[in-house]
Amino acid sequence: MNWESDRSLQVRMVLTLAFVLALPFGFVYTLLFLLNTVGLDLLEFATNEPWNGQFYVNPVVLTAVVLGGFAAQYAFGRRVALRSAGAREVDAEEYPDLHATVTRLAARLDLPTPTVAVSRTAVPNAFTVGRSPESATVVVTEGLLDRLDDEELAAVLAHELAHVKNRDVAVMTLAYFLPTLTYFVAMGAYFVLKGVFHGLGGMGRSNGDGKGLAVAVVVLVVSSVLTLAVSAAFWVGSFLFFRLLSRYREFAADRGAVSLTGEPLALASALRTLDDTMTELPDRDLREQDGGLEALYVAPIDAPKFGSDRELISRDLFPETHPPTAERIERLRDLDAELEGR
């Protein structure tokens, strides 16, 4: 089975980048529109006076901030991801077999040999980060190394290198910026709102201008509520779009791994092992490996099968980060049948 470029994946990556780039502007100007309509109307109602001014954000400044945010994510995303996973870079002396397999597979794909890192956790999984093939880092967990045999491990590593070959790793790094940004904006608005209501307890003892205080309270409350509402809506929307790419890219990487190793059943066996093992592990271990990276892993850690008491925020959103493991295994078996028929 020869390597083939996935046109559909490429189109999805371009659309995702365009969407992620446009959405911050939509977020800010939607919020401004609401503040200049609903917000000012409530302010007039609270003060019984007309308010002719408007909230405004300079487009040039906004563009600089958005591009700066993407640049920071692009530059430091790899480092943040490794820290979140508790992973450290390892050399060939420490993990000779792992390095040898990664080097061999990368050479077959005509890729630079990526950096290898290991996360000290019993959760069996792997992911890849990096802004380009030259800066890619393949991360595996100790649990993965303990659970898989040599063929299964090679299949998983081939899957990760297929992500590098497809260049979807860099897109995923950038795509994660927007949901992360809107989440922190929402949290900031929440704490402002919480602080306002906490401070309302002292209003009765205030000797200042009651009208001025009322204006300040209305401005803060309205701004915070609208920011929370808009942030939540855009966070969900951006996360859903992000996940539509993350799900499809797993199928593409599975096919890429098969074209590289010629062993679809080895990858199917690895996925089944990982899937079965996840159900045996404590929720605490799984939460420690979440860290906002769940869409990057080779196997999902946020599937509903873990029970209703799981605390990963992302499990409440649809669609899931990964396609169903059973569907991936079925497709791999179909690929095996195609290879056998040739």
- Of how many residues is the chain composed? 342
- In the structure encoding, which two tokens stand for residue 309, read together? 């008491």
Q: How far is CA 214 from CA 45, 146, 203, 217, in A?
A: 11, 63, 9, 5
The Cα 206–Cα 210 span in angstroms is 8
What residues pair up with 119 in beta bridges, in sequence order? 87, 141
Secondary structure string (H, E, C) spanning 309-332: CCCCHHHHCCCCCCCCHHHHHHHH
The alpha carbon of residue 113 and the mean position of all alpha carbons in its chain are separated, in whole angstroms, by 25
User: What are the residue numbers of the active site?
Assistant: 160
Query: Residue 48, class by beta-carbon neighbours within 10 Å (0-12 exposed, 13-18 middle, 19+ buried)?
Result: exposed
CA angle 237/315/176 to nearest 5° reads: 45
